[in-house]
Amino acid sequence: MRILIKYNNYFFKKRLKDILIIDADYKAVFENDSVAVRKIYCSSQENNLFIFKKMALGHKAIYIRDNLLMIFDGQDNLPILKFKQNINENLIKKSIYIAAIAYGYQISFLKIRFILKDILD
């Protein structure tokens, strides 16, 4: 799995197994990435057109819709967790990464929900 993390304007990628987690909010970093791996697209922006385009092509995605963390498994949109109204953007982003890593390791949606609820409460 490769994880993209942005910290102080530096991008970090880490590879574990054969999954690439792509932060669609910073998609330009991967425009020419030709690695043949399973990809999971993530976005904390409500109206990220890039991630919707990837979802229309059947790519897996984790994104925010109406203050809900959603997982798109290639066919269905599955609500995982509703965020509180006053939650900060940094915590939302971390929750998305946690969900992406867990989903990449094929942890069940119910367990992902419990993990995130435990962290956020």
* Sheet containing 77-82, strands listed edge to edge, beginning at the edge strand earlier in sequence: 10-14, 2-7, 19-23, 38-42, 60-65, 68-72, 77-82
Give the distance between the most distant pair of CA atoms in the chain: 39
Residue 96 pLDDT greater than 90, yes or no? yes
Q: How many structural domains comprise the chain?
A: 1
- The pTM assigned to this predicted structure is 0.77
Query: pLDDT for 39-55, tens place per residue?
Result: 889 999 888 888 999 89
| pLDDT over 90, % of the chain | 32
- Taking residues 31-43, what's their average pLDDT? 70
Domain that includes residue 92, residue range: 2-120
